[in-house]
Structure 1
Amino acid sequence: MDATATATPFSTLIRVASHAQHTEAETSSFMSDLLGGRLGVDAYARYTEQLWFVYRALEGASEALRKDPVAGPFIQRELERTPELERDLAHLRGADWRTGLEPLPATAAYAARVEECARTWPGGFVAHHYTRYLGDLSGGQIIRDKAEKTWGFARKGDGVRFYVFEGIANPAAFKRSYRELLDQVAADDLEKQRIIDECKRAFDFNGAVFRELGAQFPLSA
Protein backbone atom coordinates (compact mmCIF):
# COMPACT_ATOMS: atom_id res chain seq x y z
CA MET A 1 0.00 0.00 0.00
CA ASP A 2 1.21 3.53 -0.69
CA ALA A 3 1.25 6.45 1.73
CA THR A 4 -2.21 7.57 0.67
CA ALA A 5 -3.65 4.14 1.40
CA THR A 6 -1.95 4.10 4.79
CA ALA A 7 -3.58 7.43 5.67
CA THR A 8 -7.04 6.17 4.68
CA PRO A 9 -8.98 4.45 7.50
CA PHE A 10 -8.93 0.70 7.07
CA SER A 11 -12.71 0.54 7.44
CA THR A 12 -12.97 2.78 4.37
CA LEU A 13 -10.41 0.79 2.40
CA ILE A 14 -12.15 -2.51 3.02
CA ARG A 15 -15.59 -1.10 2.17
CA VAL A 16 -14.46 0.55 -1.05
CA ALA A 17 -12.26 -2.33 -2.21
CA SER A 18 -15.03 -4.90 -1.79
CA HIS A 19 -17.85 -2.75 -3.19
CA ALA A 20 -18.06 -4.51 -6.55
CA GLN A 21 -18.24 -7.98 -5.01
CA HIS A 22 -20.74 -6.76 -2.41
CA THR A 23 -23.00 -5.27 -5.07
CA GLU A 24 -22.82 -8.38 -7.24
CA ALA A 25 -23.80 -10.62 -4.32
CA GLU A 26 -26.68 -8.52 -3.05
CA THR A 27 -28.15 -7.99 -6.54
CA SER A 28 -28.12 -11.68 -7.48
CA SER A 29 -31.21 -12.96 -9.25
CA PHE A 30 -32.14 -15.11 -6.25
CA MET A 31 -31.98 -12.23 -3.78
CA SER A 32 -33.77 -9.90 -6.19
CA ASP A 33 -36.56 -12.44 -6.64
CA LEU A 34 -36.75 -13.13 -2.91
CA LEU A 35 -36.96 -9.46 -1.96
CA GLY A 36 -39.35 -8.81 -4.82
CA GLY A 37 -41.83 -11.27 -3.36
CA ARG A 38 -41.57 -13.54 -6.39
CA LEU A 39 -40.46 -16.61 -4.42
CA GLY A 40 -42.32 -18.58 -1.79
CA VAL A 41 -41.52 -18.97 1.87
CA ASP A 42 -39.76 -22.27 1.13
CA ALA A 43 -37.01 -20.35 -0.68
CA TYR A 44 -36.65 -18.05 2.32
CA ALA A 45 -36.44 -21.08 4.62
CA ARG A 46 -33.79 -22.71 2.43
CA TYR A 47 -31.76 -19.51 2.52
CA THR A 48 -32.09 -19.41 6.30
CA GLU A 49 -30.79 -22.98 6.47
CA GLN A 50 -27.66 -21.94 4.57
CA LEU A 51 -27.09 -19.08 7.00
CA TRP A 52 -27.19 -21.53 9.90
CA PHE A 53 -24.25 -23.49 8.50
CA VAL A 54 -22.19 -20.32 8.01
CA TYR A 55 -22.93 -18.85 11.43
CA ARG A 56 -22.32 -22.14 13.16
CA ALA A 57 -18.83 -22.04 11.60
CA LEU A 58 -18.29 -18.40 12.60
CA GLU A 59 -19.58 -18.65 16.13
CA GLY A 60 -18.28 -22.12 16.83
CA ALA A 61 -14.78 -20.65 16.61
CA SER A 62 -15.48 -17.51 18.61
CA GLU A 63 -14.58 -18.77 22.07
CA ALA A 64 -11.16 -20.00 20.95
CA LEU A 65 -10.43 -16.61 19.36
CA ARG A 66 -11.84 -14.41 22.11
CA LYS A 67 -8.38 -13.57 23.49
CA ASP A 68 -6.67 -13.32 20.12
CA PRO A 69 -5.15 -9.83 19.62
CA VAL A 70 -6.46 -9.56 16.05
CA ALA A 71 -9.83 -11.32 16.09
CA GLY A 72 -10.69 -11.08 19.77
CA PRO A 73 -11.91 -7.45 19.86
CA PHE A 74 -14.54 -8.24 17.21
CA ILE A 75 -16.13 -11.13 19.08
CA GLN A 76 -19.09 -9.68 20.95
CA ARG A 77 -21.92 -11.74 22.37
CA GLU A 78 -24.62 -9.32 21.26
CA LEU A 79 -23.80 -10.22 17.66
CA GLU A 80 -24.31 -13.97 18.03
CA ARG A 81 -26.94 -15.26 15.62
CA THR A 82 -26.97 -19.05 15.91
CA PRO A 83 -29.67 -19.25 18.63
CA GLU A 84 -31.91 -16.90 16.65
CA LEU A 85 -31.39 -18.88 13.46
CA GLU A 86 -32.34 -22.07 15.26
CA ARG A 87 -35.50 -20.47 16.60
CA ASP A 88 -36.39 -19.22 13.12
CA LEU A 89 -35.78 -22.63 11.59
CA ALA A 90 -37.97 -24.32 14.20
CA HIS A 91 -40.72 -21.90 13.19
CA LEU A 92 -40.14 -22.35 9.47
CA ARG A 93 -39.48 -26.09 9.33
CA GLY A 94 -40.77 -27.52 12.60
CA ALA A 95 -39.08 -28.96 15.66
CA ASP A 96 -37.21 -31.61 13.64
CA TRP A 97 -35.69 -29.10 11.21
CA ARG A 98 -32.21 -30.63 11.60
CA THR A 99 -33.36 -34.01 10.25
CA GLY A 100 -31.81 -34.58 6.84
CA LEU A 101 -30.53 -31.01 6.60
CA GLU A 102 -27.52 -30.69 4.30
CA PRO A 103 -25.75 -27.53 3.10
CA LEU A 104 -25.59 -26.64 -0.55
CA PRO A 105 -22.10 -27.33 -1.98
CA ALA A 106 -21.34 -23.60 -2.08
CA THR A 107 -22.44 -23.24 1.53
CA ALA A 108 -20.26 -26.15 2.61
CA ALA A 109 -17.26 -24.53 0.90
CA TYR A 110 -18.06 -21.18 2.51
CA ALA A 111 -18.35 -22.65 6.01
CA ALA A 112 -15.17 -24.69 5.51
CA ARG A 113 -13.25 -21.54 4.58
CA VAL A 114 -14.53 -19.72 7.66
CA GLU A 115 -13.43 -22.64 9.83
CA GLU A 116 -10.03 -22.74 8.13
CA CYS A 117 -9.46 -19.04 8.78
CA ALA A 118 -10.56 -19.44 12.39
CA ARG A 119 -7.99 -22.21 12.87
CA THR A 120 -5.08 -20.73 10.98
CA TRP A 121 -5.52 -17.01 10.27
CA PRO A 122 -7.29 -14.58 12.62
CA GLY A 123 -7.13 -11.78 10.04
CA GLY A 124 -9.09 -13.91 7.59
CA PHE A 125 -11.63 -14.63 10.30
CA VAL A 126 -12.05 -10.86 10.76
CA ALA A 127 -12.78 -10.50 7.04
CA HIS A 128 -15.61 -13.02 7.24
CA HIS A 129 -16.87 -11.57 10.53
CA TYR A 130 -17.06 -8.11 8.97
CA THR A 131 -18.86 -9.18 5.80
CA ARG A 132 -21.50 -11.09 7.74
CA TYR A 133 -22.34 -9.02 10.78
CA LEU A 134 -22.17 -5.53 9.33
CA GLY A 135 -24.32 -6.78 6.48
CA ASP A 136 -26.85 -8.19 8.94
CA LEU A 137 -27.05 -4.86 10.74
CA SER A 138 -27.52 -2.98 7.47
CA GLY A 139 -29.06 -4.71 4.45
CA GLY A 140 -30.33 -7.52 6.63
CA GLN A 141 -32.96 -5.16 7.99
CA ILE A 142 -34.38 -4.78 4.49
CA ILE A 143 -34.72 -8.56 4.26
CA ARG A 144 -36.52 -8.65 7.62
CA ASP A 145 -38.99 -5.98 6.55
CA LYS A 146 -39.70 -7.71 3.23
CA ALA A 147 -40.10 -11.11 4.90
CA GLU A 148 -42.58 -9.74 7.43
CA LYS A 149 -44.67 -8.15 4.70
CA THR A 150 -44.41 -10.98 2.16
CA TRP A 151 -44.94 -14.02 4.37
CA GLY A 152 -46.76 -12.53 7.33
CA PHE A 153 -44.20 -13.03 10.07
CA ALA A 154 -44.83 -11.08 13.25
CA ARG A 155 -42.74 -7.92 13.43
CA LYS A 156 -39.34 -8.96 14.80
CA GLY A 157 -40.87 -12.32 15.69
CA ASP A 158 -40.30 -15.98 14.90
CA GLY A 159 -39.10 -16.42 11.33
CA VAL A 160 -37.10 -13.18 11.27
CA ARG A 161 -35.36 -13.23 14.66
CA PHE A 162 -32.02 -13.68 12.91
CA TYR A 163 -32.26 -10.03 11.85
CA VAL A 164 -33.23 -8.73 15.31
CA PHE A 165 -30.28 -7.69 17.48
CA GLU A 166 -31.95 -7.26 20.85
CA GLY A 167 -28.63 -6.57 22.58
CA ILE A 168 -27.82 -3.62 20.31
CA ALA A 169 -29.92 -0.61 21.22
CA ASN A 170 -28.36 1.72 18.65
CA PRO A 171 -27.25 -0.13 15.48
CA ALA A 172 -25.78 3.01 13.89
CA ALA A 173 -23.57 3.67 16.91
CA PHE A 174 -22.59 0.01 17.07
CA LYS A 175 -21.53 0.03 13.42
CA ARG A 176 -19.43 3.13 14.03
CA SER A 177 -17.71 1.38 16.93
CA TYR A 178 -17.16 -1.70 14.80
CA ARG A 179 -15.53 0.38 12.07
CA GLU A 180 -13.29 1.94 14.70
CA LEU A 181 -12.18 -1.57 15.66
CA LEU A 182 -11.32 -2.19 12.01
CA ASP A 183 -9.30 1.02 11.92
CA GLN A 184 -7.37 -0.15 14.99
CA VAL A 185 -6.88 -3.76 13.90
CA ALA A 186 -3.50 -5.19 14.89
CA ALA A 187 -2.16 -5.66 11.36
CA ASP A 188 0.43 -4.05 9.10
CA ASP A 189 -0.40 -2.80 5.62
CA LEU A 190 0.44 -6.09 3.93
CA GLU A 191 -1.81 -8.00 6.32
CA LYS A 192 -4.57 -5.45 5.82
CA GLN A 193 -4.41 -6.06 2.08
CA ARG A 194 -4.72 -9.80 2.71
CA ILE A 195 -7.79 -9.13 4.87
CA ILE A 196 -9.30 -7.02 2.09
CA ASP A 197 -8.69 -9.82 -0.40
CA GLU A 198 -10.37 -12.30 1.95
CA CYS A 199 -13.31 -9.95 2.32
CA LYS A 200 -13.73 -10.01 -1.46
CA ARG A 201 -13.54 -13.78 -1.32
CA ALA A 202 -16.26 -13.84 1.35
CA PHE A 203 -18.61 -11.92 -0.94
CA ASP A 204 -17.75 -14.35 -3.73
CA PHE A 205 -18.74 -17.23 -1.45
CA ASN A 206 -22.03 -15.45 -0.79
CA GLY A 207 -22.58 -15.02 -4.50
CA ALA A 208 -21.97 -18.72 -5.11
CA VAL A 209 -24.56 -19.62 -2.47
CA PHE A 210 -27.08 -17.29 -4.11
CA ARG A 211 -26.42 -18.83 -7.53
CA GLU A 212 -27.07 -22.32 -6.20
CA LEU A 213 -30.21 -21.14 -4.45
CA GLY A 214 -31.30 -19.49 -7.69
CA ALA A 215 -30.85 -22.78 -9.52
CA GLN A 216 -32.91 -24.53 -6.85
CA PHE A 217 -35.69 -21.94 -6.99
CA PRO A 218 -35.92 -20.75 -10.60
CA LEU A 219 -38.78 -18.51 -11.61
CA SER A 220 -41.11 -19.98 -14.20
CA ALA A 221 -40.52 -18.52 -17.64
Structure 2
Amino acid sequence: MTNVIPLSAAIRTRSQAAHSSSEGAGFMSSLLRGERTRDDYISLVAQHYFIYSALEAATERMRDEPVAARFISDKLTRLPALEADLAFLLGGGWRERIAPLPATARYVARIEQVGATWAGGFVAHHYTRYLGDLSGGLHIGRVIRRQFGFETNGIGFYLFGDIADPAAFKDVYRHELDAAPWDDAEKERVIDEVLLAYRFNTEVFEELAGERGTAIA
Protein backbone atom coordinates (compact mmCIF):
# COMPACT_ATOMS: atom_id res chain seq x y z
CA MET A 1 0.00 0.00 0.00
CA THR A 2 1.41 3.36 -1.05
CA ASN A 3 1.54 6.05 1.57
CA VAL A 4 -0.07 9.26 0.35
CA ILE A 5 2.00 12.28 1.35
CA PRO A 6 -0.20 15.24 2.38
CA LEU A 7 0.21 18.25 0.12
CA SER A 8 1.40 20.47 2.99
CA ALA A 9 4.15 17.98 3.83
CA ALA A 10 5.14 17.63 0.17
CA ILE A 11 5.42 21.40 -0.19
CA ARG A 12 7.47 21.70 2.98
CA THR A 13 9.87 18.93 1.91
CA ARG A 14 10.23 20.00 -1.71
CA SER A 15 10.68 23.69 -0.88
CA GLN A 16 13.14 23.26 1.98
CA ALA A 17 16.21 24.09 -0.09
CA ALA A 18 14.54 27.04 -1.80
CA HIS A 19 13.29 28.34 1.53
CA SER A 20 16.76 28.12 3.05
CA SER A 21 18.26 29.88 0.03
CA SER A 22 15.72 32.69 0.27
CA GLU A 23 16.18 33.09 4.03
CA GLY A 24 19.93 33.11 3.64
CA ALA A 25 20.02 35.65 0.83
CA GLY A 26 22.80 38.12 1.53
CA PHE A 27 20.59 41.17 1.96
CA MET A 28 18.36 39.62 4.61
CA SER A 29 21.14 37.91 6.52
CA SER A 30 23.14 41.15 6.70
CA LEU A 31 20.03 43.11 7.70
CA LEU A 32 19.34 40.72 10.56
CA ARG A 33 22.97 40.89 11.70
CA GLY A 34 22.64 44.66 12.11
CA GLU A 35 24.89 45.41 9.14
CA ARG A 36 22.35 47.41 7.14
CA THR A 37 21.02 50.94 7.48
CA ARG A 38 17.55 52.29 8.10
CA ASP A 39 17.40 53.24 4.40
CA ASP A 40 18.19 49.64 3.47
CA TYR A 41 15.25 48.52 5.57
CA ILE A 42 13.00 51.12 3.95
CA SER A 43 13.96 49.72 0.53
CA LEU A 44 12.78 46.29 1.69
CA VAL A 45 9.48 47.69 2.98
CA ALA A 46 8.92 49.41 -0.37
CA GLN A 47 9.35 46.16 -2.30
CA HIS A 48 6.93 44.44 0.08
CA TYR A 49 4.41 47.17 -0.68
CA PHE A 50 4.38 46.34 -4.39
CA ILE A 51 4.28 42.58 -3.78
CA TYR A 52 1.39 42.74 -1.34
CA SER A 53 -0.52 45.25 -3.45
CA ALA A 54 -0.58 42.60 -6.17
CA LEU A 55 -1.28 39.71 -3.82
CA GLU A 56 -4.13 41.41 -2.01
CA ALA A 57 -5.69 42.61 -5.27
CA ALA A 58 -5.59 38.97 -6.38
CA THR A 59 -7.15 38.00 -3.05
CA GLU A 60 -10.15 40.21 -3.81
CA ARG A 61 -10.52 38.62 -7.24
CA MET A 62 -10.34 35.12 -5.73
CA ARG A 63 -12.81 35.58 -2.87
CA ASP A 64 -15.60 33.84 -4.78
CA GLU A 65 -13.46 31.00 -6.13
CA PRO A 66 -14.52 27.93 -4.09
CA VAL A 67 -11.08 26.48 -3.32
CA ALA A 68 -9.11 29.73 -3.07
CA ALA A 69 -11.71 31.17 -0.69
CA ARG A 70 -10.82 28.54 1.90
CA PHE A 71 -7.43 30.19 2.39
CA ILE A 72 -8.52 33.81 2.44
CA SER A 73 -8.68 35.58 5.79
CA ASP A 74 -8.81 39.30 6.43
CA LYS A 75 -6.63 38.65 9.48
CA LEU A 76 -3.71 38.21 7.08
CA THR A 77 -4.11 41.51 5.23
CA ARG A 78 -0.80 43.41 5.19
CA LEU A 79 -1.32 46.36 2.85
CA PRO A 80 -2.71 48.88 5.38
CA ALA A 81 0.20 48.10 7.71
CA LEU A 82 2.72 48.55 4.89
CA GLU A 83 1.16 51.89 3.95
CA ALA A 84 1.35 53.04 7.57
CA ASP A 85 4.95 51.84 7.85
CA LEU A 86 6.00 53.73 4.74
CA ALA A 87 4.19 56.90 5.88
CA PHE A 88 6.09 56.69 9.16
CA LEU A 89 9.43 55.90 7.52
CA LEU A 90 9.27 58.30 4.56
CA GLY A 91 6.56 60.85 5.35
CA GLY A 92 3.45 61.92 3.52
CA GLY A 93 4.91 61.83 0.02
CA TRP A 94 6.13 58.26 0.27
CA ARG A 95 4.28 56.99 -2.81
CA GLU A 96 6.35 59.25 -5.06
CA ARG A 97 9.59 58.09 -3.46
CA ILE A 98 9.39 54.36 -4.05
CA ALA A 99 9.58 52.15 -7.14
CA PRO A 100 9.66 48.40 -7.74
CA LEU A 101 12.96 46.77 -8.59
CA PRO A 102 12.98 44.74 -11.84
CA ALA A 103 12.82 41.50 -9.83
CA THR A 104 9.85 42.86 -7.88
CA ALA A 105 8.11 43.83 -11.11
CA ARG A 106 8.56 40.28 -12.43
CA TYR A 107 7.25 38.85 -9.16
CA VAL A 108 4.24 41.18 -9.25
CA ALA A 109 3.50 40.27 -12.87
CA ARG A 110 3.42 36.57 -12.01
CA ILE A 111 1.11 37.12 -9.03
CA GLU A 112 -1.19 39.18 -11.23
CA GLN A 113 -1.18 36.49 -13.93
CA VAL A 114 -2.04 33.52 -11.72
CA GLY A 115 -4.21 35.60 -9.40
CA ALA A 116 -6.55 36.33 -12.28
CA THR A 117 -6.91 32.85 -13.72
CA TRP A 118 -5.62 30.03 -11.54
CA ALA A 119 -6.72 29.25 -7.99
CA GLY A 120 -3.87 26.81 -7.32
CA GLY A 121 -1.27 29.32 -8.41
CA PHE A 122 -2.84 32.01 -6.28
CA VAL A 123 -2.80 29.70 -3.26
CA ALA A 124 0.87 28.88 -3.91
CA HIS A 125 1.84 32.55 -3.66
CA HIS A 126 -0.59 33.19 -0.80
CA TYR A 127 0.91 30.27 1.15
CA THR A 128 4.51 31.26 0.47
CA ARG A 129 4.05 34.85 1.62
CA TYR A 130 1.67 34.62 4.55
CA LEU A 131 2.86 31.45 6.22
CA GLY A 132 6.37 32.82 5.96
CA ASP A 133 5.17 36.05 7.57
CA LEU A 134 3.64 34.07 10.42
CA SER A 135 6.86 32.12 10.90
CA GLY A 136 10.17 33.88 10.35
CA GLY A 137 8.49 37.23 9.82
CA LEU A 138 7.59 37.53 13.48
CA HIS A 139 11.25 37.08 14.40
CA ILE A 140 12.35 39.60 11.77
CA GLY A 141 9.98 42.18 13.23
CA ARG A 142 11.49 41.77 16.69
CA VAL A 143 15.02 42.13 15.33
CA ILE A 144 14.18 45.25 13.29
CA ARG A 145 12.42 46.82 16.25
CA ARG A 146 15.51 46.38 18.40
CA GLN A 147 17.97 47.55 15.72
CA PHE A 148 16.23 50.78 14.80
CA GLY A 149 14.52 51.61 18.07
CA PHE A 150 10.99 51.24 16.72
CA GLU A 151 7.94 50.62 18.87
CA THR A 152 5.16 49.51 16.54
CA ASN A 153 5.48 52.28 13.94
CA GLY A 154 7.70 51.10 11.13
CA ILE A 155 7.21 47.37 11.76
CA GLY A 156 3.43 47.07 11.50
CA PHE A 157 3.88 44.66 8.59
CA TYR A 158 5.28 42.08 10.99
CA LEU A 159 2.52 42.44 13.59
CA PHE A 160 -0.56 40.22 13.34
CA GLY A 161 -2.73 41.63 16.09
CA ASP A 162 -5.80 39.67 14.98
CA ILE A 163 -4.08 36.28 15.09
CA ALA A 164 -3.67 35.25 18.72
CA ASP A 165 -2.07 31.89 17.96
CA PRO A 166 0.01 31.88 14.75
CA ALA A 167 0.91 28.19 15.14
CA ALA A 168 -2.75 27.16 15.32
CA PHE A 169 -3.59 29.41 12.37
CA LYS A 170 -0.87 27.76 10.29
CA ASP A 171 -2.12 24.30 11.27
CA VAL A 172 -5.60 25.15 9.99
CA TYR A 173 -4.11 26.54 6.78
CA ARG A 174 -2.09 23.36 6.19
CA HIS A 175 -5.20 21.26 6.84
CA GLU A 176 -6.95 23.20 4.08
CA LEU A 177 -4.03 22.51 1.75
CA ASP A 178 -4.30 18.80 2.47
CA ALA A 179 -8.07 18.88 1.89
CA ALA A 180 -7.93 20.81 -1.39
CA PRO A 181 -9.67 18.82 -4.16
CA TRP A 182 -6.74 18.82 -6.56
CA ASP A 183 -5.52 15.79 -8.48
CA ASP A 184 -1.86 14.76 -8.48
CA ALA A 185 -1.03 16.77 -11.57
CA GLU A 186 -2.51 19.94 -10.10
CA LYS A 187 -0.69 19.37 -6.81
CA GLU A 188 2.56 19.19 -8.75
CA ARG A 189 1.73 22.47 -10.47
CA VAL A 190 1.05 24.09 -7.10
CA ILE A 191 4.35 22.83 -5.68
CA ASP A 192 6.20 24.13 -8.74
CA GLU A 193 4.56 27.53 -8.25
CA VAL A 194 5.64 27.61 -4.60
CA LEU A 195 9.21 26.99 -5.75
CA LEU A 196 8.84 29.78 -8.30
CA ALA A 197 7.58 32.13 -5.58
CA TYR A 198 10.65 31.39 -3.48
CA ARG A 199 12.85 32.06 -6.50
CA PHE A 200 11.21 35.41 -7.10
CA ASN A 201 11.64 36.31 -3.45
CA THR A 202 15.33 35.42 -3.54
CA GLU A 203 15.82 37.49 -6.70
CA VAL A 204 14.27 40.51 -4.97
CA PHE A 205 16.75 40.11 -2.10
CA GLU A 206 19.62 39.78 -4.56
CA GLU A 207 18.63 42.97 -6.37
CA LEU A 208 18.19 44.80 -3.08
CA ALA A 209 21.74 43.81 -2.19
CA GLY A 210 22.95 45.04 -5.57
CA GLU A 211 21.06 48.31 -5.37
CA ARG A 212 21.95 49.06 -1.77
CA GLY A 213 25.58 47.94 -2.07
CA THR A 214 27.56 46.04 0.50
CA ALA A 215 26.60 46.00 4.12
CA ILE A 216 27.94 48.68 6.43
CA ALA A 217 31.12 47.90 8.33
CA separation in 2, counterparts of 1:57 and 1:185?
23
Runs of 4+ in 1 over 2 A off after TM superposition: none
Give the corresponding residue for 1:129. Answer: 126
CA separation in 2, counterparts of 1:25 and 1:127?
16
Give the corresponding residue for 1:12. Answer: 9
Q: Is the 8 A contact 1:69 1:186 kept in 2?
A: no
1:192 counterpart SS class: helix
1:98 counterpart SS class: helix
Q: Deviations over 1:112-154 (max 9, x none)?
A: 1001001121100100000000000000011101101100001
CA separation in 2, counterparts of 1:102 and 1:193?
34
- Gap runs ≥5 in structure 2: none
CA separation in 2, counterparts of 1:187 and 1:178?
16
Alignment of 1:196-215 (within 5 A): 196-215=191-210
Q: Is the 8 A contact 1:61 1:115 kept in 2?
A: yes
Aligned CA RMSD, in angstroms, stands at 1.3
Amino acid at match of 2:46: E
Q: Deviations over 1:179-204 (max 9, x none)?
A: 11111112111100000000000000
Query: Paired residues, what number?
Result: 216
2:58 pairs with one of 61, 64, 71: 61
Q: Say whether residues 1:28 and 2:15 are aligned partners.
A: no
CA separation in 2, counterparts of 1:71 and 1:148?
34
Q: Is the 8 A contact 1:28 1:211 kept in 2?
A: yes
Q: Percent identity?
A: 49
Give the corresponding residue for 1:219. Answer: 215
Q: Is the 8 A contact 2:47 2:104 kept in 1?
A: yes
Deviation at 1:3, TM superposition (A): 4.0
Give the corresponding residue for 2:47. Answer: 50
Q: Deviations over 1:42-63 (max 9, x none)?
A: 1111000000101000101212
Alignment of 1:149-160 (within 5 A): 149-154=146-151, 157-160=152-155
1:206 counterpart SS class: helix
1:86 pairs with one of 51, 67, 83: 83
Deviation at 1:67, TM superposition (A): 1.6
Deviation at 1:159, TM superposition (A): 0.6
CA separation in 2, counterparts of 1:168 and 1:149?
22
Q: Is the 8 A contact 1:134 1:175 kept in 2?
A: yes
- Gap runs ≥5 in structure 1: none
Amino acid at match of 1:22: H
CA separation in 2, counterparts of 1:214 and 1:121?
32
**TM-score of the superposed pair, with normalisation by structure 2:** 0.96
1:73 pairs with one of 70, 74, 80: 70
**TM-score of the superposed pair, with normalisation by structure 1:** 0.95
Q: Is the 8 A contact 1:106 1:212 kept in 2?
A: yes
Give the corresponding residue for 2:37. Answer: 40
Q: Is the 8 A contact 2:82 2:157 kept in 1?
A: yes
